[in-house]
Structure 1
Amino acid sequence: MDTIILGGGLMGTASAFFLAKGGARVTLIERARIGAGATVASFGNIRRTGRYLPQLPLAHRSRALWGELSRLLGQEVEFRATGHLRLAFDEGGLEDMRTFAQEARPWGLTLEELDAGEIRRRFPGIGPDAIGASFSPEDGSGNPRLIGPAFAQAAARQGVRIVEGAEVGAVTTAAGGGFTVETSAGRFEADTLLNCAGAWGARLAALFGEPVPLEARGPQMAVTEPLPYRILPVVGIWTRNKRYGAYLRQVERGNVVFGGAVDRVPVDLDPGHAHVDPSRTGDQLAAVLRLVPALRGVSVIRHWSGCEGYVEDNLPVLGPSRTTPGLFHAFGFCGHGFQLGPGVGAVMADLILHGGTETPIADFRIHRFAA
């Protein structure tokens, strides 16, 4: 079976790897550079806490794969299971935390509830004013700059053809089945087509009569100067107030990566460049200091953003086309796809190679937008 994948981010490269591992002949086409879009803009959070509950089976499968990636890919992607700590500073946050924890348990996710004293003992200096927290000890983080290229290199070793810097033109179906993709790097043909085009994914779906309400937006991320390595878990917050919604993690080199607490900005898909507004960093830092007050006075050394696809219902599009045999979709992960990436790749390989998957994904089918 020949498969063309459009999009060389985490979803596309992971799918290419697992498809090739299953025996498919794969061509992956990327308009820019591998992993240079939404993937590299990611915070790097590997969390299951707070997810849409029917997404947890996919998240569990993906978390298991994260633990195997250094072996599967033959290189380090800096996955660290340091835990995910999510703080509550008020009764509303505490109520939301407990509700999620109770509802997530039948879905296979058990969270530890920490009271104020336990937070101080186990995580000194983090959330000194928090009244409670949830802790997911097996979650953590990975390096967004490493993961896409690592999957792509491992896929290439299994025979995947990777074409970078190729602008996609016409995408058509043949009378007897199959697809033709015209690009600036030439024409490509295959039996199946996998749409991993991220924020551009809705454009491709629309060509086949499958409109998806999707907007392109850019997050605002930043990183500090190197500091002594003290913050082991990824740190977030249970809050109903968006301006408090910061999150952070410290890498082993000492830098603290942070984001959240400000709105994501609209991005024009042509050319798809997301821009950072440094004047908003002060609002982010104010929220970050609530999580770790000792960061007051640190220097921010870099900002960045990226073009992400946000679907109207805040859920991804994942699965086969409803209109076109041989067409599959995996896009629109709404800023929370990093943790899911390896699992998405494995699921898409299941669907394309075997016609189905044991991982439930019905809530993410493109059928939900049909008239």
Structure 2
Amino acid sequence: MIERLVTPVAIVGGGIVGASAALALRRMGLAVVLLERDFCGSRSSGVNYGGVRRQGRPMAQLPLAERAHRIWARLPELIGIDGEYVRSGHLKLARSEEDLASLEAYRERAREHGLDLEIVAGHAFRARYPWLGQRALAGSLSPEDGHANPRLVSPAFARAAARLGADVREQTRVDEVAHDGRDFVLRCGDRLEVRARFLLNCAGAWAGAIAERFGEPVPMTSGHPNMAVTEPLPLFMDVNIGVEGGGIYGRQVARGNCVIGGGQGYGLDAERARPAREAIFALLVQAAELFPELRHAHVIRSWSGTEGYLPDRDPVIGFSTTTPGLVHAFGFAGAGFQIGPAVGEVLAELVRDGATPTPIAAFSITRFTGAERAAQPAAAAPR
């Protein structure tokens, strides 16, 4: 017999964005049903690198990143664990004078956002980071950025939402979604039907199918990052490392393991991905060049996942232009872990208030559809 639920808000996707939205909605007193086809935080939200950085983001994302930065400071209060979150600092490396000039220009553009970026170069750079290889010439340090363990943090947001009364359904695939003129109707096989006034589309790399279902196709593609982790080593890397222009990133956890990433793997099918052998080899060559301590380290695991990328590398966040009550949040291009908790709060505000104080106009789906903004319905109320 099919189970039927009626709720003000349904969320498709239990990654860090969807789970954060569920938690924020419950903290506002709104009922919510969260539907996740696998386990919450098991997809890109749980297999990413774990960088919690503001530095390097496009200017339009920095207000979200600043809001998220304040949320991350309250992590144990919100989700019950610290998630191995460390404000180690984020050092973005320059490997050429052109890279250094780019980092300096970014510092000027980002000055008003409170990142307190510090350019470190010359003898001071070598003295502060003697463990870096000679290819690194200088760096831009964001002292309050850091890293965390996504395998702990992302599921913990969903558990925290459930403790506050969110109806979290894992291993519950949404097979059909429609709008009957008043409510969204979601069907999960012959097991469950959910009716909701608001639908939050937080389905990650698969969210494009929902947008297209409601007449808003977007040019989203899938990416599959290469990730690897070493055996535990003596601690040497005391900051989260990125590189201007991309290519490689790395961090070391308290147990001594070094997590490194870069390059692309490949998709086995629509739901599974693997690291690419050649890309892993290239990644390890770069890692040994930048981090000489890794030259003889053993890699104990490598992995990949599936992330959604839009052409401008910015996400879609905000109301649908075709369907009242539909709110999108997807396409984070591998950089959604840090801003995810802030996006969740923004989504909850859109549901409750019809607006948010955090600027999100740059992330409207209209930049791909060319549509005008649709009028939005009144905020949801518990029922």
TM-score (norm 2): 0.92
User: Which of residues 38, 48, 51 is equivalent to 2:44?
Assistant: 38
User: What SS does structure 2 have at the residue aligned with 1:77?
Assistant: coil
1:125 aligns with 2:126: no
Structure 1 residue 237: Cα displacement:
1.3
Aligned to 2:381: none
What whole-Å deviation, never above 9, does each CA across 1:79-129 have from its counterpart, x for those lacking one? 100000111121111111111111111333320010121222222212444
Aligned to 2:75: 69
1:331 aligns with 2:302: no
**Superposition pairs for residues 64-213 of structure 1, below 5 Å?**
64-175=70-181, 177-184=182-189, 185-213=191-219
What whole-Å deviation, never above 9, does each CA across 1:221-257 have from its counterpart, x for those lacking one? 0000011122111011123xx6xx2110000011000
Letter in 1 for 2:44: A
Q: Pick which of 304-313 and 274-283 moved more.
A: 274-283
Aligned to 1:298: 297
- The question of whether the paired residues in 2 share the 8 Å contact of 1:314 and 1:334 is answered with yes
For 2:15 and 2:114, locate their aligned partners in 1 and report how far apart those are by CA, in whole Å. Answer: 28
- The question of whether the paired residues in 2 share the 8 Å contact of 1:44 and 1:141 is answered with yes
- The question of whether the paired residues in 2 share the 8 Å contact of 1:46 and 1:338 is answered with yes
- The question of whether the paired residues in 2 share the 8 Å contact of 1:16 and 1:152 is answered with yes
Structure 1 residue 264: Cα displacement:
4.9
Letter in 2 for 1:293: P
Q: Which runs of 5+ in 2 are unaligned?
A: 1-6, 371-383
Q: Pick which of 113-122 and 224-233 moved more.
A: 113-122
Aligned to 2:349: 350
**Superposition pairs for residues 240-251 of structure 1, below 5 Å?**
245-251=247-253
For 1:298 and 1:120, locate their aligned partners in 2 and report how far apart those are by CA, in whole Å. Answer: 23
Aligned to 1:12: 18
For 2:237 and 2:115, locate their aligned partners in 1 and report how far apart those are by CA, in whole Å. Answer: 24
User: What SS does structure 1 have at the residue aligned with 2:110?
Assistant: helix
What whole-Å deviation, never above 9, does each CA across 1:305-358 have from its counterpart, x for those lacking one? 111111122110101111111110111101111111111111111111111111
For 1:199 and 1:166, locate their aligned partners in 2 and report how far apart those are by CA, in whole Å. Answer: 17
Letter in 2 for 1:151: F
Letter in 2 for 1:289: A
1:51 aligns with 2:67: no
- The question of whether the paired residues in 2 share the 8 Å contact of 1:120 and 1:128 is answered with no
1:216 aligns with 2:215: no
Aligned to 1:265: 266
User: Which of residues 18, 27, 47 is equivalent to 1:21?
Assistant: 27
Letter in 1 for 2:293: A
Letter in 2 for 1:263: Q
- The question of whether the paired residues in 2 share the 8 Å contact of 1:276 and 1:304 is answered with yes
User: What SS does structure 2 have at the residue aligned with 1:191?
Assistant: strand
For 1:210 and 1:268, locate their aligned partners in 2 and report how far apart those are by CA, in whole Å. Answer: 24
User: What SS does structure 2 have at the residue aligned with 1:343?
Assistant: helix
Aligned to 2:277: 278
- The question of whether the paired residues in 1 share the 8 Å contact of 2:51 and 2:146 is answered with yes
For 1:264 and 1:299, locate their aligned partners in 2 and report how far apart those are by CA, in whole Å. Answer: 20
Structure 1 residue 42: Cα displacement:
0.5
Provide closer, same or farther for how the CA distance between residues 227 and 165 of structure 1 changes in structure 2, counting only shifts above 3 A. same
For 1:233 and 1:283, locate their aligned partners in 2 and report how far apart those are by CA, in whole Å. Answer: 23
- The question of whether the paired residues in 2 share the 8 Å contact of 1:226 and 1:256 is answered with yes
Count of residues paired in the alignment? 363
User: What SS does structure 2 have at the residue aligned with 1:168?
Assistant: coil
- The question of whether the paired residues in 2 share the 8 Å contact of 1:65 and 1:343 is answered with yes
User: What SS does structure 2 have at the residue aligned with 1:339?
Assistant: helix
Matched-pair identity in %: 44
Q: Which runs of 5+ in 1 are unaligned?
A: none
Aligned to 2:3: none
Aligned to 2:287: 288
TM-score (norm 1): 0.95
Letter in 1 for 2:71: L
Provide closer, same or farther for how the CA distance between residues 264 and 214 of structure 1 changes in structure 2, counting only shifts above 3 A. farther
Structure 1 residue 24: Cα displacement:
0.8
Letter in 1 for 2:180: A
Aligned to 2:316: 317
Structure 1 residue 130: Cα displacement:
2.6
- The question of whether the paired residues in 2 share the 8 Å contact of 1:81 and 1:137 is answered with yes
For 1:64 and 1:127, locate their aligned partners in 2 and report how far apart those are by CA, in whole Å. Answer: 34
Aligned to 2:241: 235
